[in-house]
Each structure stands twice: as structure tokens, then as C-alpha cells.
Structure 1
Amino acid sequence: MNGLCKLGKIDRSFQQLDIMLDKGLVPNEITVNILLDCLCGCSMVREAKCLLERSAELEWEVDVINYNTVMSRLCDDGKYRAVLKLFTDMIKKSIAANSWTLSILVHSLCRDGKPRKARCLLDNEGLVANVVAYTILIQYYYLAGKAPEVSILFSKMVKANITPNFVTYGILIDCFCGEGNYGQVVYCFLRSLEQGLSQEHGARLTFWLVSGGRIRLVQYIIEHILKHGIAIDYCIYYLIIKASCKMGYCQRQNFA
């Protein structure tokens, strides 16, 4: 079945399922996931939903991973209401959602222009919020130009002991620097140092600071990087020089 699916021969793969059933063989989780992945990969989401509904007939116990697979494809296809409908069906079957489920829901609601509902989901005790769900929502508010909302979400992450990842910190740096909120962005960056510095983030931040004329902050940031025993690569120096020249500092011997 897996080989037929990879060849795109979906009909023949389902014929094998019928042969299994005729021989009294019950499909297991791996069997059904092969078929679901195949259907979703070919954008045959309606057929994938039908397969989920046949779980009782196939004597197969559907789980959250199966639902997440289909909901993720529905989200990719822009069928956001169908995502929520399938989520509701899953809950009615007493199947507990996981962090991947929440990320799919948040992504769907944001793309559907309903970020407030997505934020409400993060506060739902029955759902597991993680860094992916928060990052999706933070990115939406950043692109919408709503920096205060980004700041609130970041504070909620900190209180919930959810550590931002590489993508989150990149968005936060661009958002806060773009708003001129240098105090907040330096705080974010110093937190990222505790996790291990990304040279890309260091380069991005120094470019923003020099472009904003915050030379003393650049020195402060570099001092902290060196205190953590992290070598500064050529990217950071290059961007400092580039931004400095752009701001007319090239003829100065001392930026301070």
C-alpha cells in the first residue's frame, strides 16, 4: 500500500485495503496513516475525512495524529471552517487535542482573519500551548503592525515558561526595533543569550541599533556576547560597518 501510494496509484492502494478486509485483517494505525498521508498529499481531503468517518467500520481506533494530518491539509488548502468543524468532531469523540492541534487551529484562525479567537485558544486550559502556536500568532500581529499585541504575547510566553525559539526571536527583534522599543529588544536578546546566541540574530540586532543611532547599545550588546564566551563572526562586524557607513559614521575614529 505504501509503495502504491508513493507511485500515486491511490485506487490500487485502496483495493489492497479491501483485500485486507475480505481476509479478515484489521488495518492498524500505520496502515491508515499511509492512506491518510496519501490522500492529503494529493489534496483529496474530502476522501480523507470519509476515511476518518469509516474508523468504526474498519475497527480502527482513530487518534489525534490522524485528525491533525487532515486538519493540517485543510489549513494549507485555505479551508479554515472545515478545520474547526473537524476539530469539533474530534472533541465529540473524546479525542484529546495536543500541541500540534492547537498550532493548526491558531494558524487557521489567523489566516482567516480571526486572531482574537486564536488568542482565546491559548488561554484554554484544555489545550496545550507551545512555542509554535505563540510564534504563529506573534508573527500575524507583527505583520499586521500591532506591536503592542506582540509585546503582550511575549510577556504571556515568559509567564507560562514557554521559551521562544529561533523564529520567535527573529520576529521580536524586527518588531521591537521597528517600533524603536530598544529596551524591550535588548531584553529579548539577552534572554536569547541564555539559550545560545544565533549569529544571525546578533547581526540583525546590531544593524537595527546602528541604523537607529544607538551606538552605545551596540557596545553593550557586544560586551554581553563576549561575556558569554561567544565569538563574534564577520557577519556582525560587516553589518556594523555597513550600517555605520550608511549613517555617516565612517570618518569617526570613536563611535562613542
Structure 2
Amino acid sequence: QKGKLMHKLIQCMMCCIILFTFYSCVATKPASQVDLEIPKDFPKAEREFRAAWVATVANINWPSKPGLSTDEQKREAVKLLDLLQKINFNAVIFQVRPQCDALYKSELEPWSYYLTGVQGKAPDPFYDPLEFWIEEAHERGLELHVWLNPYRAHHVSGGPVSDSSIVIKRPDLVVEGAKIGLKGARIGLLAARGALKMLVTDYDESDLEREIEDEAEELEIRAGELEEMAEELEEVAEEFEDLHFTMKSEIDELNDLDWF
């Protein structure tokens, strides 16, 4: 009898499982048939910013390695831009200052190691990579935005430190580590500001100029904020110093008491 009862219980459980599975399959609508209530006043984006970052530090995206010929560099750039156009991107964020250097003709900072394999050495035959990227991007209907790293003085993958590097020219501004950087955010921002101003002057391209002017304004604001933060930190340091002096005095007084 116990065996029959157990057999019936198992049958009932199986029936329940089958009915539940069948109901789930029938009751669940495909995602395409689910009714969604979209608000009538839902804001529409006037324009999408579909951008790709092109990193030059450590030759992550372009060029594929240091020391390529001018023609090889151009072919790789065109291949990347053709791909972005094909997959419907409309902007490129191009890294032109990976380590206090330049992937454009600059009077302030040396040519990038990631271009020629030697920091300070210009491309041969000569061309201006930033100018080339601007022209080729615009031909494909892509905006070109510049990307500057304001804090890095030298990357571990950046080859030997040359005489034209800020690491040699201004060692007083540099702090060493796994990645050599500039001492403090304010110094980095002020160093990058010079490069920004030069880019605005030398590259008269509408979207590039707007982007650089926005970055320059942001750097100015950030520099001001950092100065205010420094003043606040000095005040806090003075308060801690006063507190430390007070606590030390109180401890000295307690030590002078006759406890026993």
C-alpha cells in the first residue's frame, strides 16, 4: 500500500510540473509582443555623440608600433577611420599628447616616441599626424577631438628618456614611480595649458578649436578649484597642528599629576 501511495504521489507531482510548464509557455509573450507605454513627451536626443577613443600611448590603437614609415602610419590611420565610418560613428577622440610629447608639430614639446621610436625625432618623410587625422576624419563626416594627458611625464613603454623630455629639462617638476608623473595636478594642468593654446593657434578647425577651447576653459576652472582646495587644506593643516599642540599640552598636564 505504501508503494502504491508513493507511486500516486509521484504521478501527481509530474502532472503538476507538466501543467506549470505548459502554462508558462502559453502565458509568456515574446519580448517583441510586450506592450510598452512610452511617454508622449519623452525627450528626443537632437544628435548622438558616437565616438571612439584612439589611444597612442603604448601604441594601443595607433600606430601599431613605433618607427613605422609615414606611408604605413597613414594607411593604418585610414583603415581605422574607414572602420569607424562603416559602423556609423561620427566622432574620433585622438590622443595627441600621451607623455608630455606631441603627435603634431609643436614648438613646446618633443615629437612622440610612439611615432618614430625616438622621442624628439620628426616623421620622415615629414607630415603632421594631427593635421592628417583632421583632414581624413572630416572627409568621412567624422568630428576630430583632441585628447591630452595632462599628468604623465613619461610612460614605462615610452622608450629612453631623451634630452628633450620634461623629465630631463625640469626634474624639479617630476615625481618618479612606475609611471613618471608631474608633481601635483596643478602643475600638470598648467603644463597642458601651453599645449592647448598652441593647438588653438595652429589648427584652425571648427570642431577641434571648440573642443580645445572648452578643454582650456575647463583646465582654468580646475586650476582655480585646486588652488581653493590647497588653501582649504592649509587651513585644515593649521587646525590639526593647533589640535595636536592642545592634546600634547593636556597629556603633559596629565603626566604631571600625582596619580598614586
Q: TM-score range by the shorter chain?
A: under 0.3
TM-score of the pair, normalised by structure 1: 0.26
Relative to its length, the structure with more helix (as a share) is 1
Question: Which of 1 and 2 has higher RCO (CA within 8 Å, sep 6+)?
Answer: 2
Higher strand share: 2
